[in-house]
Amino acid sequence: MTIYLTIAVIILVFLIIFQISKASEYVGILKGEEQNRKNANKVNGFLMISFLIVGLIGVWYCNDLLFSKTLLAHSSASVQGERVDSMLWITLAITGIVFIITQILLFWFVYKYQEDDKRKVFYFAHSNKLEFLWTAVPAIVLTGLVIFGLRNWYYFTSDAPKDAMVVEVTGKQFGWIYRYPGSDNQFGKKYYKNIDPASNSLGLIWSDNATLNLKDDPASHDDIVTEQTMYVVKGKPVKLIIGSRDVIHDVGLSQFRLKMDAVPGIPTTMWFTPKFTTAEMKKITGNENFQYEISCDQMCGNGHYSMKGVIEVVEQEDYDLWLAKQKPLYLQSFPDKDPNAPKTDSTAKTIAKN
Amino acid sequence: MSNEANLHSHDSHDTNHEHHHETFITKYVFSQDHKMIAKQFLITGMVWAVLGGLMSVLFRLQLGYPDSHFSWLEDILGKWWVKDGQITPEAYYALVTTHGTVLVFFVLTAGLSGTFANFLIPLQVGARDMASPFMNMLSYWFFFAASCIMLSSMFVETGPFSGGWTAYPPLSALGSASPGSKTGMDLWIIAMALFVVSSLLGGLNYIVTILNMRTKGMSMTRLPLTIWALFFTAVLGVLSFPVLLSGFILLIFDRNFGTSFYLSDIFVNGVGALPNEGGSAILFQHLFWFLGHPEVYIILLPAMGMVSEILSVNSRKPIFGYMAMIGSLFSIAILAFLVWAHHMFVTGLNPFLGSIFVLLTLLIAVPSAIKVFNWLTTLWRGNIRFTPGMMFAIGFVSLFISGGLTGIWLGNSALDIHLHDTYFVIAHFHIVMGVASMFGMFAGIYHWYPKMYGKHLNNTLGYIHFWITIAGAYLIFWPMHYEGLAGMPRRYYDYSNWESFKQFADLNRFISTVAMIVFATQLLFLFNFFYSIFKGRKVTSLNPWQSNTLEWTTPLRPGHGNWPGEIPEVYRWPYDYGKDGQDFIPQTTPVGEEESHH
C-alpha cells in the first residue's frame, strides 16, 4: 500500500513542478522574454555563489562527520602503512588546496561576471605567459609526487627481509586457505590437479602419482594448512605468497594499507610488518569486536561479499603456542603416518591405500 | 540579420532541394541523414540511461536497505531477481555489471559521441552529410542490434552476465564458476562485439568527414573545439576498440573451443580440475585496459569539447588558449594509450613497469590542468548568460576538478595499493567520468536542442534539473571517498558481516535515498525532452544563442543536405566574441580591413 502512496506522491510532485515551470514560461512571455531571461540570470548567479558557500561548509561538515570512521583516524597497523598514510596526507594537502582554489575561482567568476548590460567583455584569447605558468607549475608539483610515490612503491614491492616469516595464501570461491612451511621451513610442491577438496585442498604432492606424473615431495609432509584465521607475529615481517585456486581474488588488508591480487597460475607476493597485536588494536580503535579482516577486493562471483578471512596478530610466544597445536595436513589426512599418534589398526588402511 | 530570411525557407527547401521521395521508413527508421541518425543514437542512449539508472537504484536499494523486504518488487521482477522481498546476490551482481556496461558503452559512448559526432560534425564543418551516410546508418543499426542482444541477456534462465563490466577471466570464462558466465555471458560478448563494429563504422566516418569535407575556408585551426574533441575521440576509438575485440575473440575461444589463452591451473568447486594450462589471466586485462583506458577519454573528450564551446558562447568571450586546448586534447589522446596498466598495479605487475605507468598517468594531470585553467580564464571578465546548457557546462568543470584531483591519488601506485577497488575508486570515476560526462551530454542537449527540434526546452525545468542533479551528485559521491578511505571494497552485496565496514550502514542509506531522488529528477528531464518536441516553445530566432558556428546558419529545421543553397564559406575562427566591441562575429563574416588581430 505504501508503495502506491509513494508513487502517487511522486506523480503529484512531478505535476506541481511541471505546472509551475509551464506557468513561469507563460509569465516570461508576458513580461517579455528578454526581461525574464535576465531575472533568471540573476537568480542563478546568486544560486551559484550560494552553492559554493553551502558546498564548502558541506565538505567541512562531511569531514567532521565521517573522518573518525576512516583508517586515517588512528595509526596504521603496519610499518608500511605509515608511509601510505603520510603520502595520503601530503597528496590530500596538495589536491585539497587546488580543489578549494579552483572551485572558489569557478563559482566566484560565474557569480561576478554574470550578465550585466554595462559590462564590456574583455577580448582575451591567449597568453603564452599564463599557459606556460599552468603547464609548468602542475608539472613540477606532480614530479614531486611521482618521486615521492615511486620511492614508496619500490619499498613496498621490494624483496621481504631475510628473516620474514612466510605464509602462503590461496583464494578460492569463497574463502582463504593458508599454508605454513612447517618445521623444515620449506613449502612442499603442489599441483592443482592433485586437489581433493576434502583431504588435500591445495593439491600437495605427498605421494607418487603415475597418471599425473608426480613424484612425492617430502617437504609437503609437514606443511600446515589452515582456513579462516591466519596467525602472524607482531613486529616480525611477514611475506605472503599469494595464489588462487579458481578465479582472480584479491588479498585486501585495509588495516595494513596493502592489497595484492590472487591470480590462478601466477603467484604474487606482498610483505608487511604488523605493528600491533589484535588485542592492542581493540584498544586503539576502541572497538571490542575489532578484527584484522582480509577482504576479497576483486570481483570473484556471487559470494564475493562473503569471502572474509581473519588475521590474528599475536606476540611471539602466543604464536609458538598456537603453532605447537597445529598438525600438518598430511598427518590429518593420513593419521596412521603420525609417529605420535596412538597405534591403532593401521594395517587395514595401508592395504586399502595400496 | 540576413539569416532571418531563411527562417521559413525550410518548407520550400523540403520540396526543392535534393528531394527524393521519402517514406516513413527511409526518413525515420533507415535514415541516412546524419541528423536523424544522431537523434536515433540519442533516444536509444536515453532509453539505456533510464534502464541503467534504474538498475543503480535497485542495487542501491539493496545497499541502503539490506534488511528491508520489498514484496512489491518481487511481484514486478520475479523470483530470480527478488526473493522474499530482497534482491538476490545473483541479481545484485547482474545489476552492477549491466549498469556499468550499459552506462560506459551504450550511454556515454554511443549515446554521447554517437549523438553529437553525428549531429555536429557535418553542421559545424559545413558538410551536407557524413562521408558515407550508408555506413553511418549501419553504425546505428549495429548499435541497435547490440542493444537488443544486451537487453535479451537480461531474460535468460541463468541470468545476465554478473562478473563486473570489466569481464575479467577466469570468472567470465567459466560458466561453472558463476551462473552469469553461462548464456548471459555469450550474449554479452556478442552484444559487445556488435557494439565495437558500430563504433568503428561511426569513428571512421567521423574522421574522414572532418578531414575531407570541411567547407571552403574551414581550415583545421578554424574548427570549433567540439569538432577537435570529436576528432580525437574517433581516433582513440578506431585505434583501441579492435584490441578489445581481439581480447573478446580469445575469450570466446577459451569459453567455447577449449583453448587456454587466459586459463591456467584452475580447480572449480564442484567440477574439479580443468585441463587448461599455460594461459595468463592477466593477458586479458592488458587487452581490455588497452581499450578500457582510452575509453575513459572517448567518454570524456566529447564532453570537454562541447563544454569549451558552450562556455565560450555563453560567456560572450573567446575560448582562452584555443591552440593550447587543441594541444592538450592531443596530448591527452596520446597519453590515453600509454597508461592502461594503472588499472593493474595490484596484479603483481613488474614494479619497474608499474613505475613507468605512474609517471605517464600523473603526466595526464598536466593537460587536464591546462584545460581547467583555460576554462576558468574563459569565464573571467566575461558576460555570463546562465542558459541551462551553460549551467551544466559550469557543473562539468566543477565535477571535472573534483574527480580529476582524486585521480592524482589513485594514479600513484603506492596509494593505489591501498585504495584500489574501494569506494574511493567508485567516487573518483563516477565524478570525473560518469557524472561529468553526463553533464557534458546534458549541456549539449540543452544547447543544441533548438537546432535538433526547432523548439526550446522549458528553462525552469532545466534549472530545477541542474540544481538537483549537481547537488545530488556531490551528496552521493563525496561521502564515498570516506568509505574508500576506510578500505570499504566495491561490489559487495552486503557489508553487515564485516567489522570494518558495517559502520557505514547509515551513510549507505543516505546515499541510496539521494540516488533515488536524483534518478526521479532525470525523469523530469525526460519529460521535458519529449514534451517539448511536441509542445515546446517554438524557436523564433535562427541563432538563439547568438553563436558564431556554422550550424546556426542553416534553416530552422534543416532538411537532408543541411543548407538549401550553397554551403557558406568560412573566413575566421569560431570564437570572435566581444571582439572590437562587437558581441559576436559569425564564422561566415569576412574579416574586415579595420579589424584587429587577436
Provide the percentage of residues in chain B whose pLDDT is more than 70. Answer: 96
In this predicted model, what pLDDT tens digit does every residue of B401-417 receive, in sequence order? Answer: 999 999 999 999 999 99
In this predicted model, what pLDDT tens digit does every residue of B82-125 receive, in sequence order? Answer: 998 899 999 999 999 999 999 999 999 999 999 999 999 999 99
pLDDT band (50, 70, 90) for residue B339 = very high
- Lowest-pLDDT choice from A133-137, B11-15, B154-158, B209-213: B11-15
Please state, in angstroms and rounded to a whole number, the distance separating the CA atoms of residues A200 and B396: 56
Closest alpha carbon within chain B to A121 = B382
pLDDT at A340 > cutoff 80: no
- Spatial contact of B483 and B474, defined as CB atoms under 8 Å apart: no
> Closest approach of chain A CAs to the CA of B140, in angstroms?
32
> Closest approach of chain A CAs to the CA of B316, in angstroms?
7
- Average pLDDT on A49-78 reads 95
Please state, in angstroms and rounded to a whole number, the distance separating the CA atoms of residues B258 and B551: 54
Residue B1 CB burial class (10 angstroms; 0-12, 13-18, ≥19): exposed
Three-state SS annotation for B175-211:
CCCCHHHCHHHHHHHHHHHHHHHHHHHHHHHHHHHHH
Quick count: other Cβ atoms within 10 Å of Cβ B307? 30
Sign of the torsion formed by the C-alpha atoms of B294, B295, B298 and B303: negative
pLDDT at A342 > cutoff 70: no
Q: Which structural domains are found in chain B, ordered by start?
A: 35-263+276-581 (1.20.210.10)
Question: What confidence score (pLDDT) does residue B311 get?
Answer: 97
Closest CA to B138 of B209, B230, B205: B205
- Lowest-pLDDT choice from A183-187, B58-62, B594-598: B594-598
Helix, strand, coil % (nearest 5) of chain B?
65, 5, 30
- Spatial contact of B259 and B181, defined as CB atoms under 8 Å apart: no
Q: A167 CB contacts (<8 Å, ≥6 apart)?
A: A178, A179, A180, A230, A232, A238, A239, A240, A241
CB contacts under 8 A, A 96-115 vs B, are: 98-99, 102-103, 105-107, 109-110, 113-115
In this predicted model, what pLDDT tens digit does every residue of B161-170 receive, in sequence order? Answer: 999 999 999 9
Please state, in angstroms and rounded to a whole number, the distance separating the CA atoms of residues B545 and B459: 14
**In this structure, what are the phi and psi dihedrals at residue B454, rounded to the nearest 5 degrees?**
70, 15
pLDDT at A263 > cutoff 60: yes
Q: How far is CA B138 from CA A188, B69, B71, B193, B420, in A?
A: 59, 45, 43, 14, 39
Which residues in B lie closer than 8 A to residue A260 (C-beta atoms)? 346, 348, 417
Which of A340-349, B14-23, B28-37 is the most confident on average? B28-37
CB contacts under 8 A, A 214-233 vs B, are: none
Which residues in A lie closer than 8 A to residue B179 (C-beta atoms)? 302
pLDDT band (50, 70, 90) for residue A349 = very low
Closest CA to B109 of B23, B195, B204: B195
Question: What confidence score (pLDDT) does residue A337 get?
Answer: 82
pLDDT at B12 > cutoff 50: no
By Cβ distance, the residue of B72, B405, B486 closest to A95 is B405
Please state, in angstroms and rounded to a whole number, the distance separating the CA atoms of residues B282 and B65: 36
In this predicted model, what pLDDT tens digit does every residue of B222-259 receive, in sequence order? Answer: 999 999 999 999 999 999 999 999 999 999 999 999 99
Please state, in angstroms and rounded to a whole number, the distance separating the CA atoms of residues B563 and B554: 5
Residue A330: all three cell numbers together:
598430511
- Average pLDDT on B556-566 reads 91
A149 touches chain B (CB under 8 A): yes
Which residues in A lie closer than 8 A to residue B385 (C-beta atoms)? 37, 41, 115
pLDDT at A21 > cutoff 90: no
pLDDT band (50, 70, 90) for residue B580 = confident
User: Between residues B155 and A345, which one has the greater pLDDT?
Assistant: B155
Residue A303 CB burial class (10 angstroms; 0-12, 13-18, ≥19): middle
Closest alpha carbon within chain B to A17 = B461
CB contacts under 8 A, A 318-337 vs B, are: none
Which residues in A lie closer than 8 A to residue B178 (C-beta atoms)? 247, 301-302
A61 touches chain B (CB under 8 A): no
Q: What is the tally of helices (H) and strands (E) in chain A?
A: 8, 10
Question: What confidence score (pLDDT) does residue B473 get?
Answer: 97
Please state, in angstroms and rounded to a whole number, the distance separating the CA atoms of residues B576 and B586: 7
Q: What is the mean pLDDT of chain A?
A: 91
pLDDT at B15 > cutoff 70: no
pLDDT at B31 > cutoff 50: yes
Which residues in A lie closer than 8 A to residue B93 (C-beta atoms)? 299, 302, 304
A258 touches chain B (CB under 8 A): yes
Closest CA to B121 of B29, B246, B37: B37
- Spatial contact of B396 and B436, defined as CB atoms under 8 Å apart: yes
CB contacts under 8 A, A 263-292 vs B, are: 263-269, 287, 289-291
A209 touches chain B (CB under 8 A): no
In this predicted model, what pLDDT tens digit does every residue of A118-177 receive, in sequence order? Answer: 888 899 988 999 999 999 999 999 999 999 999 999 999 999 999 999 999 999 999 999
By Cβ distance, the residue of B93, B324, B351 closest to A153 is B351
In this predicted model, what pLDDT tens digit does every residue of B268-310 receive, in sequence order? Answer: 998 999 999 999 999 999 999 999 999 999 999 999 999 999 9
ipTM of this predicted structure = 0.93
Element (H, E) at B37: helix B34-64
B386 touches chain A (CB under 8 A): yes
